[in-house]
Amino acid sequence: MLSLKNYLEQARQYSVVPVATQLLADRHTPVTLLQRFYKNREGVFLFESVEGGEKWGRYSFLGTDAHAFVEIHAETVLVRKCDDGSERSIPHHGKPLEILRELMQSHRTAEQPELPRFFGGLVGYFAYETVAFFEKIPHRLKDEPFGVFVIPKTMLILDNLKQVLTVCATTFPRETLSGEAKSDEYESLYRSAVAEIEKIAVELEKPFVCPAPQCDAEPTLAPVMPEREYRKKVETIKEHIRGGDIIQCVFSQPFVADEAPDAVSLYRALRFSNPAPYLFFMHLGGTVLAGSSPETMVRLEGRTATLRPIAGTRKRGATEQQDRELADEMLRDPKEKAEHLMLVDLGRNDLGRVAKTGTVQVTDLMFVERHPHVMHLVSNVTAELDDGYDGFDLFRATFPAGTLTGAPKIRAMQIIAEQETTPRGPYGGAAGYIAYNGNIDFAITIRTARIRDGQLTARAGGGIVYDSVPELERLETVNKATGVARALEMLNRTDIRPEGGMQ
């Protein structure tokens, strides 16, 4: 744990100072920790990862208490402090990322080599419609924020390899104390952080019984758009393609469940039935997101930026031989290859807007990545960020992902705005974090359930091209929504408490 002496040195220089200790974690899992600390509170989040659909990522990140909430609205960014309930409504003049950048620049911390790579920052999601601040794209998002984030005060970071739990209580001395603060005032902040850590340690020693899932009903997921209307809109998009407006357009439709289940139970079922590189649960701004996304929106580590376009999908085979045959067939499919290469080029162009000349490269091209139920064609595109640019510039240059819009990107988004009569909201946007050190990691918000105002919704889409068959495209969206649908079915059929065998 950080000593008082070292804390005082950092607190006088930096606006963010974490205090942390490590505990043995062999009796805890990410989900039991979530269930123990969630209690339907806003600001709680959990990030997990399954690499390649088979191997759990090393770290799981759980935020348990909030320092502040940040919401992007049409004309302002709202910052709400949790300790005193104060609010600031900051006009952004159409540039909300500038306000977020200024906010993060005022939250600086010393290097913390003893802590995992992420221990705090801005955590949350951008709605797809955030692009309206970057390009002239019409939108229908009226009654909810364009983005919602939490700055966590307390985090539990589980090292799944070493079975060690880092309990991190972050202090914010420059926000809490005046510029003429005395040593005993800084010491009081330190003692409060230590007390919070000790409180959590005591809580973790108590017996804990996972609450039974609150799912008396049998929720099912169904599309909102009539089949005939969907097919008609696909034909309209194909007319744009034949006219040379676009090459591809990703057209989506909403799905709704007749009942909203217990949010944590849904997340447990989703992570069990559809493990993915980005597993996330977050309760922010009156919205709960439970997601299982396979695709990186954008990542920045140091000065290295990464995109990971996914285009091309097949079901897994019943046998190893059938699995190999399906993978080979996907790799040979000229349509799949053409679509994938188009999206790789789109990613290269997006990165090129903020990259050092000559550094954009495709490090892996069209490899097969297998998940429990499907396999994908995946590529990795990397670049070195040019001088004068940061993670916010990178995000603006690459958002939203081309795999959720089509190409050319701007015209495709304009057509999406014409044909999709309901706002996408989180779908097709980005969920993840902006760390204090400037690193960012966002998933594309797909294969995600959303609970808001007591209603569960999801959304799924597919890429429309010149020879698309409308009914097959509709069925593809239904198939893509099966990740959430399968989780709902599991709630109906399975006891997902620990003794039910899913932990």
For 8, residues 6+ apart whose C-beta sits below 8 A from its C-beta are: 183, 186, 187, 190
Catalytic (active site) residue 170: no
Distance from C-alpha of 332 to C-alpha of 315, rounded to nearest angstrom: 16
Distance from C-alpha of 119 to C-alpha of 21, rounded to nearest angstrom: 12
Catalytic (active site) residue 93: no
Which member of 128, 389, 427, 436 is catalytic?
427
Which member of 376, 396, 424, 474 is catalytic?
376
Distance from C-alpha of 252 to C-alpha of 447, rounded to nearest angstrom: 12
Taking CA 414 as the corner, what is the angle to CA 408 and CA 418, rounded to the nearest 5 degrees? Answer: 140
Catalytic (active site) residue 376: yes
* Sign, CA torsion 22/23/29/35: negative
Which member of 403, 405, 448, 457 is catalytic?
403
Tell which residue, 420, 503, 433, has the closest CA to residue 464.
420
Taking CA 43 as the corner, what is the angle to CA 84 and CA 36, rounded to the nearest 5 degrees? Answer: 115
Catalytic (active site) residue 403: yes
User: Which residue is listed with tokens 């979530």?
Assistant: 34
Distance from C-alpha of 176 to C-alpha of 287, rounded to nearest angstrom: 29
Coil/strand/helix, residue 229: helix
- Widest pairwise Cα distance in the chain: 72
Q: Is beta strand 76-81 parallel, antiparallel or unpaired with respect to 59-72?
A: antiparallel
CB 63 within 8 A of CB 44: yes
Beta strands in 8-81 (DSSP E): 17-24, 45-48, 50-51, 55-56, 59-72, 76-81
CB 406 within 8 A of CB 250: yes
Q: Which amino acid is at 113?
A: P
Q: What phi, psi does 224 have (nearest 5°)?
A: -85, -40
The rounded Cα 83 to chain-centroid distance in angstroms is 26
Which member of 124, 391, 463, 483 is catalytic?
463
Which member of 28, 314, 447, 450 is catalytic?
447
Distance from C-alpha of 80 to C-alpha of 68, rounded to nearest angstrom: 5
**Residues designated as active site:** 376, 403, 427, 447, 463
